[in-house]
Amino acid sequence: MSRARSATISVVSHALRSSSPTPTTRSQEPNGVNQLKDRHRRMTVCGAYDGPRFQSTPQSDTESIKSTTFDSPEQCPSSPAWSLISGTSSTSSVKSVQISESNEPIEPGQYAPNTPKPSPKPILKHREVNNARLTSLFDVEAPLMAARAAIDSILHALVACVKEFKAPTELDFSATTEQQPFVLANSFTNKPFTDQLCKLAGLRLKLAEIPTHGDEVLEDMHKATTASIDQALTRMKEYQLKLFKKAVMESKIAFDNLLETFDETVQSFQLPSELDFPADLHKNGMMLLNTDNNKRFIDQLRKLDKLRVWLEGIVTFGNPDFEGKHDEAYAAVEEAIRDMQQHQHKLWNQSIAARALDKLLGSIIAHVSKFEYPSTLDFPANAGNGELPLLNTPRNQKFVNQFHVLQKFRDQLVKIETQGNEQLDKKYKGVSSAIGVSLQKLKSHQRELKDKHSKAYRPA
């Protein structure tokens, strides 16, 4: 193999020392010297270079890179550059690098063919991170970030809670008393409102559990969010008070309207003279049949019952004035209902009496129609003219029993009360007259037979 041609590049390995005591300005130096100095300043390979360095390969048939050291300028090869440098410096150390000019291909990372590649070195040095410092910073920032995120979530939940809430038009204050005013009842009407109060109170409790770690920004966020929740709760209480005042005014108006309606209703009542009751009166005397004759009376009872229900629905809120109006109205309604029931009971009794009289009269007629009037009776021998005694004989037994039947009818009649009712009084008199007529007829028949008996046994 033929030796490769090589070119030599000389490099100054250390700073030049001036040989002239008189300083020379840049403008006074020749152009060649200035160009050489500029090229020297731009070079990156010098005695103080901290970049990658290359070792010479062992001797071979072709020496790719050679390094020579000159102890004096006289040993440097003759060239215009060295002649200029020798004029300004006394001593210098120069390294020469010989690069092959053969036609063989040069691999990436090589400076000549058939030379080993240098070991790769990173261009940028790895900067070691202070993990302990980063960990301490994270330990400080992480709780603050978590607290900030928690406060933001509560604030967002508050905004959503307020936007989604639909304020009710009324609330149930039936649980309110003089000792516990402004209390909401646990009812379906109040549930949306009370649920909203619970949500706001829950957000306030969650917010109170979030620590601020002494951070001013977090403390300001915490105070602002607390104020927002308190403001929402205050608006809820104000709205509750507004509805409470509205409910109190409605109760006052309701009492006035109820009393006025009650007076008009009672004045329009008409008590009937009779009512239609079921056939079995003794089971339930307060039951009425649904007939045209009873319709007006039943409607009046229903009106009074509606007034009572209306009164029970008016809330007094523990107010003494309202309590007094409630008691007054309740007593009036109950009295009117009681009067109606008493009248119904009276008519019921009258109905019982009327039916009893009718039944009694029917029995009298039935028995009297079966009376027998015998042709002879057994009388005592010494009976006076004014007396109508009968002997206790089989012949007289049937006739005497007829007197007993009429007497029983009379005893039943005495027990029936007409209660001052004119129609009952007329019926009563009619039944009594029927009994009296039948008795009189039996006695007349007995007298006739006695007279016959007396004439028959009269001494001649």
Contact yes or no for 63/101 (Cβ under 8 A) = no
What pLDDT does residue 179 have?
Answer: 81
Q: pLDDT value at position 9?
A: 39
**Given a cut of 90, is residue 122 above it in pLDDT?**
no
pLDDT of residue 113 exceeding 60, the answer is no
Q: What percent of the chain has pLDDT above 90?
A: 45
Determine the Cα–Cα distance for residues 436 and 106; give it in Å rounded to an integer. Answer: 163
pLDDT above 80: residue 435: yes
| Contact call for residues 200 and 229 (beta carbons, < 8 A) | yes
Residue 96 has pLDDT above 80, yes or no: no
pLDDT for res 229: 96
pLDDT higher than threshold 60 for residue 6: no
Task: Band the pLDDT of 378: cuts 50, 70, 90.
Answer: confident
pLDDT band at 67 (very low <50, low <70, confident <90, very high): very low
- State residue 386's pLDDT score: 58
> Is residue 48 over pLDDT 70?
no
**Residue-wise DSSP of 86-139:** HTT-S---EEEEEEE--SS---TT-SSTT-PPPPP--SSPPPPP-HHHHHHHHH
| Residue 151: predicted pLDDT | 94
Which is more confidently placed, 358 or 127?
358
* Architecture (CATH level 2) of domain 137-263: Up-down Bundle (1.20)
Q: What is the mean pLDDT of the chain?
A: 76
Confidence of residue 116 (pLDDT cuts 50, 70, 90): low
Concatenate the DSSP letters of all residues of 223-273 into one string.
Answer: HHHHHHHHHHHHHHHHHHHHHHHHHHHHHHHHHHHHHHHHHHHHHT----S
pLDDT of residue 14 exceeding 60, the answer is: no
What does DSSP assign to residue 47? T
Q: What is the mean pLDDT of residues 308-334?
A: 92
Average pLDDT value for residue range 80-100:
43
Mean pLDDT of 240-245: 93
CA 278/CA 274 separation, integer angstroms: 13
Is 93 a residue whose pLDDT tops 60? no
Give the pLDDT confidence score for residue 180 in this predicted structure: 83
Name the pLDDT band for 126 (thresholds 50, 70, 90). very low
pLDDT at position 254 over 90: yes
CB-based contacts of 400: which residues, under 8 Å, 6+ apart?
390, 392
Calculate what percentage of the chain has a pLDDT beyond 70.
66
419 pLDDT band, cuts 50/70/90, is: confident
pLDDT tier at 139 (50, 70, 90 boundaries)?
A: low
What's the rounded Cα separation, in Å, for the pair 145 and 149? 6
